[in-house]
Chain A
Amino acid sequence: MLVGCEYSPMGENIIDLKTPDKNIPVAITLNNVNPADTIYVYQTTSVTIQIKSTKSLVKAEVMLNNNVFATISQSFLSFDLIPGQLADGVYKLSVNANFTSGTGSLAEQMGMEQYSGGLSWTIRVISHPENYFKADYRLNKEGYLEYYWSNKVPPSCIDRYEIHSGLSQPADTVITDPEKTSFVDYGFECGYTYCQITTYLKGGFGFTQSVSITKPTPKIYAEYIDLKHFRVYWEKSYANARYKLTVGGNVIATDVNDTSYVVPQIFGAGQAVNVEIRPRNKAYDNIYNKYTAYTNYFLGSSLGLGNWPLFAYNKKDNILYSTTYGSLVAINATTMKQINYMSIAGHPWGLAYGGKLATAPHNSTVLAMTGEETWIYSDSYFNNPLLISSVKGDVNTHLSALTSDDRFFVVPNGTSTCNVYSSITGIKLFDIPFTYNTIYTFPEFVGVSENGQYFWAASENGIEVFEVIGTTTQLIYTDTRFYKGALSVPSHPDQIICRVGQAIEHRHLPDFSLIQSMDVTTYGAVLCNVDPGTMNFLYHQNDSLRVCNVNDFSKTIFQIRSDERTCKIYNNKVLTFGLGPIYIDITPYLNNWK
């Protein structure tokens, strides 16, 4: 009953207010960065947030990944983003601001009538940008070395790059376009180089990556094409280069890009072949980017003997005798494989400083003259030698020959006497004095026929031909022409080949009548020898070694370019006397050498 009597308060206070606008202009700025852009934080970065609006700011919250870390009650806020305090990663920095409506309404006073607005920026924290700086190299499309790199920091944060490549670049390079992330090194073609690439961020912080490159110097090769040509080729360098090819001291090509050249053959000596490799652009030449590839080439095959070997050929056994240092070597003249070996020591010279080798035309006897004595072996087994201790020889010994009548003819250097010994007993039988002594030891000026019947001594002053009768001699021919050599003809003891005047004469003994003659006026000629096995005659003319049958000087059956004038031919193997004895088997090329 009393509740019904309770007083009820009354009265109203209604205020007529204008309702607020739907939207108001608001400006929120963060270091003037477009919200669409990513803010990269790689060092302590000051951030200033400014908020402007026509209405009063109630409160703004700054959130990092939706976690409030600052509140703005004024129109701005400044703070630092410190990489060390934030783990590397992507963050969302948001600013949400509330503004009064300005109407004074109850809702506004209660905080239930506000304008709200916000913006967010993506922040990427990279506390150690140097850890993400990667650099490497590659070949670009043009074939030059190209360094390239990448940063996690975007170009907008990068001030410049500096390139230092001391071995291939004349100076450091500064790249001011941060979008450019590669550099072409025109100064590198192969070998070793390095490059230091430094990224400088805006603000001065810089970090460097080094790239080292080691690329092999191209290998060079030489291969036989034919008797007149061989090919030199080499691998391309890693990056573009220019090449300079030198063969045998002669520059074949300079500043070329090709990697293969055909070069003329020359027999008789190994040819040093090298290619110099340099940057294609000469402006980048320096002492560091110059490389040379080497190889050696020779036509034919090596005998694997020491330098300056002596030769003698036994037709009966088809054995080629030679020397290597202090040893006598027997070689199968077909396979050219060594079949026996005998060291002949001396005091002090031995065979290492020996004179001549000789073989008998009718049996297996072989003779070797050392610096102290002469050794005569019955065969290639080199057993029970006959030692003639009184006869020594050297490279200037004019004649050392065994004849089918078991005699040993020797003409020591500087003498005008031929000493004749028994090759069986070693006993001296007689001497043959002669007049026309020569100062030359090459080619052969003094000789004896295979059967020991004829002995001759030629010189630039003339020739004397003796017939040996028993232990006596009889001068059967002499003249005073200018001789440049005189050879015996194997299997034809009654023939002699002379290089005399402007011709090569093939004469018959004892009448010294002319069998055939070849005029060599234009180029001259140097006699080598007649092959006992094939009767092919080897001589040197102009720039070539030439071979013809001893019975027909007019028809060259083999020719090869060579500067070697001291070659011999045995069983169709042309052998050099010079550096590193090599040989070429001419059998496949006979009559097919052109």
Chain B
Amino acid sequence: MYSQGYTAEYSIGYGNYQLKDIKSIQKSMVGNYGLKITDCFPDNYTHTVTLGYLTGTNNFGFQMSYLTTGGRLHVADYSGSYVTDMYMNGYRLGGFYRSLIDTGLKPCQFYLQIASGVMISSLRIQEKMTIYNESQEVTTRLSGSGTYIEPSLGFSFRLAKICRLSAGVGYEIDIPNYMYYDNQKTDVKANWNGVRFYGGLTFIIPEKTN
């Protein structure tokens, strides 16, 4: 076991997203010209990359995550269609600290992790109206930032000397700020609160071997 070294990890996750204000926007559009919600910001995959330093049972470093989900309002008849697609993306940039706990069941280890940083959110609303042979498309963009903190726990399984398989579960708590539209502050906040499930591979570049 390496007691000291650099770590790089990629994990794919799956989570749900509260996005209360964003969903409210979508709901407010229901009924316009017969629009109905056909997709409403479902649970979706996450992608996380971390770069850290391992020393003993402590692992800490930088973390970047990409969260994405969306929604759709749609109506169509003989004369044309009207669709409003909402693309919601989140970019987390922060740090993490992971404390490894030796279970005695080698090669498995448990860990507790706390991560925190900046959450940058963007909402792209694409409206497309097609009536007979004429169509028109309008895109609206909102963006905003906030902070997040995500405590989690998990375990890792040593696959090789420098590679470990890990899995965990956490809960993201956002402290969002209002989003901006065209430099104008709105009443909308992007709140990504929700449970996160992760599974990934951790590569370790040892600095010193015990």
Contacts and interface: CB of A to CB of B under 8 A. Distances in A.
A106 B87 contact: no
B106 to A, nearest CB: 35
A6 B77 contact: no
Nearest to B12: A5
B80 A106 contact: yes
A105 interface: yes
A106 B76 CA distance: 8
Contacts of B131: 106-107, 110, 112-113
B34 A11 contact: no
B39 A14 contact: no
Given A105-B80, A106-B131, 8 more contacts: A6-B70, A11-B39, A14-B75, A15-B34, A15-B76, A105-B78, A106-B34, A107-B132
A11 B69 contact: no
Interface string B40-63: 000011010000000000000000
B79 A13 contact: no
A16 B76 CA distance: 9
Q: Which DSSP category, helix, strand, loop or mixed, fits chain B's interface?
A: strand
A117 to B, nearest CB: 20
B79 A106 contact: yes
A4 B39 CA distance: 19
Contact of B75 (A2, A5, A15): A15
Contacts of B47: 2, 5
10 contacts: A2-B89, A7-B70, A9-B38, A9-B70, A9-B72, A13-B35, A106-B76, A108-B79, A109-B34, A110-B129
A10 interface: yes
A110 B87 contact: no
B77 A10 contact: no
B136 to A, nearest CB: 10
Nearest to A101: B79
Given A19-B78, A112-B132, A6 B38 contact: no
Given A9-B87, A13-B74, A107-B131, A113 B79 contact: yes
B166 interface: no
B177 interface: no
A36 interface: no
B85 interface: yes
Contact of A8 (B34, B70, B129): B70
A10 B37 CA distance: 10
- Contact size range, A: 20 to 34
Given A105-B78, A106-B131, A10 B38 contact: yes
Given A11-B39, A110-B131, A112-B131, A6 B87 contact: yes
Interface in A77-126: 103-110, 112-113
A109 B38 contact: no
A12 interface: yes
A370 B47 CA distance: 167
A507 B196 CA distance: 185
A12 B38 contact: yes
A109 B39 contact: no
Interface string B103-142: 0000000000000000000000000010110100000000
B66 interface: yes
Interface residues of B, number: 34
A108 B37 CA distance: 21
B68 interface: yes
Contact of B79 (A9, A12, A107): A107
Considering residues A9, A13, A112, which has the most beta carbons from chain B within 10 angstroms of its beta carbon? Answer: A9
Q: Which DSSP category, helix, strand, loop or mixed, fits chain A's interface?
A: loop
B99 interface: no
Contact of B74 (A8, A11, A19): A11
Nearest to A14: B76
Contacts of B33: 106, 109-110
A9 B35 contact: no
Nearest to A12: B74
Contacts of A12: 38, 74, 76
A105 B79 contact: yes
A14 B35 CA distance: 10
Contacts of B86: 9
Given A5-B66, A112-B132, A11 B77 contact: no
Given A2-B66, A9-B71, A17 B36 contact: no
B96 interface: no
B68 A13 contact: no
A105 to B, nearest CB: 4
B16 to A, nearest CB: 13
B18 interface: no
Contact of B68 (A7, A11, A17, A19): A7
A10 B82 contact: no
Nearest to A11: B38
B147 interface: no
Can you list the 5 inter-chain pairs with the closest CB atoms, starting with the nearest? A11-B38, A107-B79, A9-B72, A9-B70, A105-B79
A195 B75 CA distance: 80
B39 A10 contact: yes
Interface string A1-45: 010011111111111110100000000000000000000000000
A1 to B, nearest CB: 9
Contacts of B76: 12-15, 106
Contact of B38 (A13, A19, A103): A13
A108 B132 CA distance: 11
A6 B35 CA distance: 23
B127 to A, nearest CB: 12
